[in-house]
Amino acid sequence: MLRRSAVICGVAPFTFDGRYKDHATKAATSPMWFVDGQFREAKQSMDVLNPATGDVIGRVGKCGREEAEEAITVASKTFGKWSKSIARDRAVILRKWSELMIKYEKDLAALMTRENGKTLAESLGENTYSSRYVEWYANEAERVYGDIIPSPRHGVITTVQKKPIGVVGVILPWNFPSAMVTRACAGAIAAGCTVVVKPSELTPYSAFALCQLTQEAGLPPGVLNCLVGNAGEIGDAMMDSFAVRKFAFTGSTATGKMLMEKCCKTVKKMSMEMGGNAPFIVFDDAEIDKAVAGLMTAKFRNGGQVCVAANRILVQEAAYDEFVAKLVDKVKGLKIGDGLAAGTTLGPVINQQAVTRIEGLLDRTVKEGGKILCGGKRNALPVGDAAPSAKGNFLPATVVVNVTNDMEICQSEIFGPVVPIVKFKTEDEAIAIANNTRAGLASYFFTTNAKRQWRVADALQYGMTAINEGIMSTPVAPFGGVKESGMGRDGSKYGIESFLDIQYVLHGNN
Ligand code: ADP
């Protein structure tokens, strides 16, 4: 039996019944945005497409500056009360939100796959990962401690207190439609901040569904507000507003840099998680099967559309032939198709622009001397019964060799199911190649040599490094980059700090 979620006001566009259903279509009649605890009809609306079929799965509100300013005003008014709320009360609400995400995981996963394309298994995995950020920050809410510092002179007490920073503006990408929302917003809410979030126009439904669950969890209206539409206008409203004291961004380096400049106008605190160019190094003393398995995850999760995806695969001479042969074997075993279909292990890329962009990159790589061992452009997709929908945004999983680090494919973020392999001779050479980039988000290497593990990890100029593992994201560890990959960390004991100001208070007359 269908059960409508309890909401405290407004119309709930999503129906959660704990089973896989066509939820986005149910939402289609409601071109909504979410403000002050209510879903509202927007004046304009826009299509959301399924990347696997090209079909319109629904419409959402197309908001602009006016709605963004209203959301900021609501968040600003709500901040007064929310910032003074008891940390445990915030924790209880967040914990409930996290539990609801697990209760309705099948609904949320189906919705995510329909708007993003990733396989259902991946969507379920993301939903769990996403809910754990909420749970993590629920616990962090009660661990915001200040300091009492040994006084510099008699008669005074020197203290530090931490306070929620204010309204947080959040702009997010489409590749993790749920986890991006909770990673930024749960931290802010736990700290006592209020939020205006703009998810990607390409994947707004997961974010709106999460907003609906916050109402069921008991989050007061106005703490979390969400809208999509004209990204430039919404972004500018956030940038121009003095009330927005903190800006959290995940997306491309080009957009991030442009927004950083705009943040200067009102001196906002910033967390920026921008592009990566992750090296994945396989030394000749590595366990090759483990390295291949690690790469399959580090590269093909979400079709390679991940900021921490392995982008440049560096393989030492003696391990090269075995690694490449085993990898090609595994890559050929991937089953490409609609993420909702059973057995699919590689979904579509996000849109036709991505298909064309990656094909162009492959063309230029071949012109520069690269050799495609398997996959290639869309005309290399399976035919007949195994063929994915011709209207979907599919690209085959591709392995390219004869690649050097100076080629465009190694200097740009591929964001697709393409593995470029570079051969190297020495450890020093591998480290030099790995660090020869302005990005500094994730890095991976495989070796069984314990001394090399410490040495290479220390030499890598990255915010995150995984040794003999192909996946490292978890709420318990600090997620973020160095160099042009950005600043600030999500998760861990460091994450909540981004949403706090510190105030030094000197108590005299003692
Ligand atoms: P991607 O190429 O992965 O979509 P972008 O950096 O373009 O990365 O997008 C990340 C987020 O930034 C999205 O929500 C997008 O709508 C938003 N965005 C893009 N351009 C602007 C802009 N001029 N102002 C504010 N937000 C923007």
How does pLDDT run across 462-494, given as a tens digit for each residue? 999 999 999 999 999 999 999 999 999 999 999
Residue of minimum CA distance from atom 27 in ligand 1? 231
Expressed in angstroms and rounded, the spacing between residue 173 Cα and the centre of ligand 1 is 7
Expressed in angstroms and rounded, the spacing between residue 176 Cα and the centre of ligand 1 is 14
Question: For residues 242 and 255, what is the distance between their CA atoms, to the nearest angstrom?
Answer: 21
Atom of ligand 1 nearest to the CA of 415: 3
Other Cβ atoms closer than 10 A to 409: 23
Atom of ligand 1 nearest to the CA of 258: 23
Answer for the pair 58, 27: CB distance below 8 angstroms, yes or no.
Answer: yes
- Report whether pLDDT(72) > 90: yes
Expressed in angstroms and rounded, the spacing between residue 22 Cα and the centre of ligand 1 is 28
Q: What is the mean pLDDT of the chain?
A: 94
Residue 37 CA: distances (Å) to CA of 78, 203, 209, 225: 11, 21, 13, 7
Expressed in angstroms and rounded, the spacing between residue 275 Cα and the centre of ligand 1 is 12
> In which residue are the tokens 């559309």 written?
305
- Report whether pLDDT(269) > 90: yes
Residue of minimum CA distance from atom 25 in ligand 1? 235
Answer for the pair 239, 69: CB distance below 8 angstroms, yes or no.
Answer: no
**143 versus 510: which is more confidently predicted?**
143
Residue of minimum CA distance from atom 14 in ligand 1? 200
Ligand 1 pocket at CB < 6 A: 171-173, 198, 200-201, 231-232, 235, 251-252, 255, 259
Question: For residues 188 and 169, what is the distance between their CA atoms, to the nearest angstrom?
Answer: 10
Question: For residues 268 and 250, what is the distance between their CA atoms, to the nearest angstrom?
Answer: 16
Mean pLDDT of 44-72: 95
Question: For residues 379 and 362, what is the distance between their CA atoms, to the nearest angstrom?
Answer: 13
Expressed in angstroms and rounded, the spacing between residue 256 Cα and the centre of ligand 1 is 8
Residue of minimum CA distance from atom 4 in ligand 1? 173
Q: Where would I find the beta strands (DSSP E) of 239-309? A: 244-250, 269-273, 278-282
Expressed in angstroms and rounded, the spacing between residue 230 Cα and the centre of ligand 1 is 10
Q: Where would I find the beta strands (DSSP E) of 459-507? A: 464-467, 486-487, 500-507
Residue 313's closest CA among 360, 227, 326, 485? 326
Q: Where would I find the beta strands (DSSP E) of 376-415? A: 398-401
113-168 per-position pLDDT tens digit: 999 999 999 999 999 999 999 999 999 999 999 999 999 999 999 999 999 999 99
Q: At a CB cut-off of 8 Å and minimum separation 6, what does 313 contact?
A: 280, 282, 295, 299, 419, 420, 421, 422
Q: At a CB cut-off of 8 Å and minimum separation 6, what does 367 contact?
A: none
Least confident of 56-60, 265-269, 311-315, 346-350: 56-60
Residue of minimum CA distance from atom 18 in ligand 1? 231
Sheet with 157-164: strands ordered across: 147-149, 157-164, 500-507
Expressed in angstroms and rounded, the spacing between residue 255 Cα and the centre of ligand 1 is 6
CA 452 to chain centre: 31
Q: At a CB cut-off of 8 Å and minimum separation 6, what does 332 contact?
A: 374, 397
Q: What is the pTM of this model?
A: 0.96
H-only helix segments in 15-119 = 23-27, 65-82, 87-103, 105-116
Expressed in angstroms and rounded, the spacing between residue 270 Cα and the centre of ligand 1 is 16
Atom of ligand 1 nearest to the CA of 172: 14
Question: For residues 477 and 155, what is the distance between their CA atoms, to the nearest angstrom?
Answer: 41
Residue of minimum CA distance from atom 23 in ligand 1? 232
Mean pLDDT of 292-310: 98
8-state DSSP, 155: T
In this prediction, residue 342 has a pLDDT band, given cuts at 50, 70 and 90, of very high
Q: Which of 65, 171, 203, 357 to mutate to test the pocket of ligand 1 (most atoms within 8 A of CB)?
A: 171
- Report whether pLDDT(3) > 80: no
What tokens appear for 380 in the block? 């290399």
**Residue 7 confidence (pLDDT):** 35
Atom of ligand 1 nearest to the CA of 171: 14
- Report whether pLDDT(27) > 80: no
Atom of ligand 1 nearest to the CA of 250: 10
Q: Which of 48, 174, 238, 255 to mutate to test the pocket of ligand 1 (most atoms within 8 A of CB)?
A: 255
Active-site positions read: 273, 307
Question: For residues 195 and 263, what is the distance between their CA atoms, to the nearest angstrom?
Answer: 16
Atom of ligand 1 nearest to the CA of 175: 3
